[in-house]
Amino acid sequence: MPNPEEVVFPSRRERFEDRRKEGQHRKLLDEFFDHATLLAVSRLVSRGLFDAVDYPISTGKEGGVFRATKGEEFRAVKIYRISNTSFRHLPPYTMEALRREASARNFGGLIYAWTRREHTLLGRLKAAGVAVPEPYGHYRNVLVMEFIGNADGAAPRLRDAHVEDPGRLYEDLVAAIGAMVRKAKLVHGDLSPYNTLFFEGRPILIDVAQAVEVDHPQARELLTRDIHNYAKFLARLGADVDAAEFLRAVGIESVGPPTEVTG
């Protein structure tokens, strides 16, 4: 098995060293790559999912996404922090499935279940034709998936992207969310321009672990909230989008009865 730290930050990776000074290197290592996570990364490298981690794409309280190299290709490596703080602010409906797999007191187990769930749902959505990153594998708190971007860098979030054709964006969102609802039988529950990537003129949906089945008691309200988030964004771009029509277009009739969203 390769040396874990050398896998995460190879000494000969000039691109990473060009981007980060040694102090920042050590800070990231301490924040994300504890011993257990380093071993998980090494296990995934040994399985051939990627060769080495290059540099961080985005980091936050719950975890971080890093670009990795696999031969001549790039991949995205998502690492969840092993911490109880990751779950303090999640609404109750996101915890239901996890509690069937791990105790609420077992934070590591919850994180592992969350990672496994995101991998499973990405695969389910991809099979339904939804524009999401393809999942390649996972282990413990580390998920490996398709890198959305090119050699110049990762795709921007939709909120930060330049959208030339809002009408086409609307049509693409209807197609993606419609496939999610009608084919995958899922409602994302936390969609917005903040967790949608924009690459080569098309939206890519991400962060799917909190998705619920369409027959979940809160699914309709969650879908309505998702659609209103996009409708407001599209209106700011100058598109004439009616939220009610947007909901009909994605298949609101396929979703369970409305209830109040809590949490």
Q: pLDDT tens-digit profile of 102-121?
A: 655 666 778 898 999 999 99
Residues 103 and 29 in one domain: yes
Residue located via tokens 């799917």: 208
Structural domain for 122, as ranges: 4-150
Global pTM reads 0.86
Question: pLDDT tens, 23-81?
Answer: 566 666 667 888 889 999 999 999 999 999 998 999 877 789 999 999 999 999 999 98
- What was the pLDDT predicted at 62? 79
pLDDT at 25: 60
Q: Are residues 19 and 115 in the same domain?
A: yes
CB 90 within 8 A of CB 263: yes
Residue 80 lies in a domain: yes
- Reply yes or no on whether the pLDDT at 14 is more than 80: no
Q: 3 vs 184, which has greater pLDDT?
A: 184
Helix and strand totals (H; E) in the chain: 9, 11
120 burial (CB, 10 Å; 0-12 / 13-18 / 19+) is middle
What are the distances in angstroms from CA 173 to CA 170, 180, 188, 201, 252?
5, 10, 13, 12, 14
Residues 18 and 122 in one domain: yes
Instruction: Quote the pLDDT of residue 202.
Output: 98
pLDDT value at position 7?
Answer: 63
Q: Could you tell me if 219 and 256 are in contact, meaning their C-beta atoms sit under 8 angstroms apart? A: yes
Question: Burial letters for 152-166: b for 16+ Cβ neighbours within 10 Å, e otherwise?
Answer: eebbebbeebebeeb
Catalytic residues: 190, 207
Tens-place pLDDT, residues 48-58 = 999 999 989 99
Residue 259 maps to a domain:
no
For residue 263, what pLDDT band results from cuts at 50, 70 and 90?
A: very low
Tokens standing for 37?
């996570």
Together in a domain, 175 and 217? yes
For the chain, the domain total comes to 2
> What 8-state DSSP symbol labels residue 1?
-
Amino acid at 64: G
Q: How far apart are CA 86 and CA 107, in angstroms?
A: 9
Spatial separation of the C-alpha atoms in residues 175 and 230, rounded to whole Å? 14
Place of tokens 């890519």: 204
Only one residue has tokens 């919850």, namely 110
| Residue 193 scores a pLDDT above 70 | yes
Based on the fold, state whether residues 182 and 75 are members of the same structural domain.
no
Residues 47, 128 share a domain: yes
**What pLDDT is recorded for position 3?**
63
One domain for residues 95 and 134: yes
- Does residue 261 lie within any of the structural domains? no
Cα–Cα distance measured from residue 139 to residue 8, given in angstroms and rounded to the nearest whole number = 15
Residues 6+ apart with CB under 8 A from 66: 53, 54, 55, 56, 57, 76, 77, 78, 79
Q: Which 3 state secondary structure label does DSSP give 133?
A: coil
pLDDT digits (tens, 9 = 90+) for 243-261: 999 999 999 999 988 655 4
pLDDT, tens only, 150-189: 999 999 999 999 999 999 999 999 999 999 999 999 999 9
